[in-house]
Amino acid sequence: MSGIPRVGDVMTTSVVTLREEEPATRARALFREYGYRSFPVVDEDGRLVGIITRGDILRISSSRSNLLVRGLMSTGVATALPGESIIDAARKMIRLDVERLPVVASETDSTLVGIISAHDVIEALLESGREPIKKTVEEIMTAQVVTCSHDDPVTKVWTKMQETGFSGIPVLKNGEIIGMVTRKDIIDSGFARITREDEKGRVRNPPPVERVMTTPPITVHRTTPVQEAARILTGKQIGRLPVVEDRKVVGIIDRDDVMAAWLP
């Protein structure tokens, strides 16, 4: 692939979608099955009418299991067009802090024709042969890193994720990184709802985060080339990479940081 491809060149055309009238529990099942952060919602004619996110679905509790998708979805949806440059799509994702953009037929036709993700953009940038403007992880990393302790209760870590908006947090023991915990880890474990299921606060002994974290952690170094970090993100299908020296976390990068390395 040469030059900068268009959204239509790299988007996924087989899109998993939801309908407004489907139960929200169906959406929850899809999040567990696919691990995506969002799903488009379409009408009976395939037109985009909304989007439902992982955060939306976590508002479901056992007492509200009769909710429909329309009761949780957002209707103000950022989209991309097939003819847009992936550079423009990347800028939009970074600006709006989203990792997937539904692709519609045109500015006047909201028929859903595909979806493009940060993963797709990064893969396409790597395949294009275009060199990133910023060359090493040190140039794109964030030095202030939100972390958690291995013995923190899952409920505490979940609250931290909700407050910061971070999808993955490094787990430390004695100041050294031993794992990474993500929203998906907590959702898959079934512990994400324990504080909402019991409205009277009778949650007993929530488990420590080390029970649900992913270990060993996948990490990079300050001097790691951006392209190598990009290949790790896409190859491992992960969203954030701690930057580590002597097992100490000194920074972190995410897909937005990697995409931005190519932006003029």
Is the same domain home to 149 and 215?
yes
Query: What is the CATH classification number for the domain harbouring 33?
Result: 3.10.580.10
- pLDDT for residue 251: 98
Tally of structural domains, the chain: 2
pLDDT band at 197 (very low <50, low <70, confident <90, very high): very low
pLDDT band at 195 (very low <50, low <70, confident <90, very high): very low
What is the rounded average pLDDT of the residues 207-211? 93
| 59-95 residue pLDDT tens | 665 545 688 999 999 998 999 999 999 999 999 999 9
Distance (Å, whole) CA 88 – CA 121: 10
- pLDDT for residue 40: 97
Is the same domain home to 103 and 40?
yes
- pLDDT for residue 204: 59
Is the same domain home to 142 and 197?
yes
Looking at the chain, the whole-number percentage of residues with pLDDT higher than 70 is 91
The last residue of a domain, from among 71, 96, 128: 128
Q: Mean pLDDT in the chain? A: 90
Is the same domain home to 194 and 216?
yes
The model's pTM is 0.86
- pLDDT for residue 198: 43
Q: Is residue 19 part of a domain?
A: yes
Residue 203: Cβ within 10 Å count: 14
Distance (Å, whole) CA 130 – CA 224: 18
Select from 87, 101, 81 the least CA-distant residue to 38.
Answer: 101
| 18-65 residue pLDDT tens | 999 999 889 888 988 887 889 999 999 999 999 998 778 766 655 456
Phi, psi of 35 (to 5 degrees): 75, 10
Of residues 189 and 203, which shows the higher confidence score? 189
Distance (Å, whole) CA 186 – CA 209: 9
CA distances to 17, 170, 254 from 148, rounded to whole Å, are 34, 6, 18
Give the residue numbers spanning the domain of 187: 137-260
Q: Is residue 224 part of a domain?
A: yes
Distance (Å, whole) CA 239 – CA 97: 13
pLDDT band at 230 (very low <50, low <70, confident <90, very high): very high
Is the same domain home to 148 and 234?
yes
| 96-123 residue pLDDT tens | 989 999 999 999 999 999 999 999 999 9
Is the same domain home to 111 and 182?
no
Q: Is residue 195 part of a domain?
A: yes
pLDDT band at 221 (very low <50, low <70, confident <90, very high): very high
Which segment of 75-84, 129-138, 187-196 scores lowest on mean pLDDT? 187-196
Whether pLDDT at 199 is above 50: no
Sequence length of the chain is 264
Q: Give the residues across from 114 on adjacent strands.
A: 103
The structure tokens 């929530």 sit at 206
Phi, psi of 76 (to 5 degrees): -85, 90
Written as one string, the DSSP assignment of 126-179 is: HHHTPPPSS-BHHHH-BSS---EETTSBHHHHHHHHHHH--SEEEEEETTEEEE
Is the same domain home to 191 and 103?
no
Whether pLDDT at 1 is above 50: no
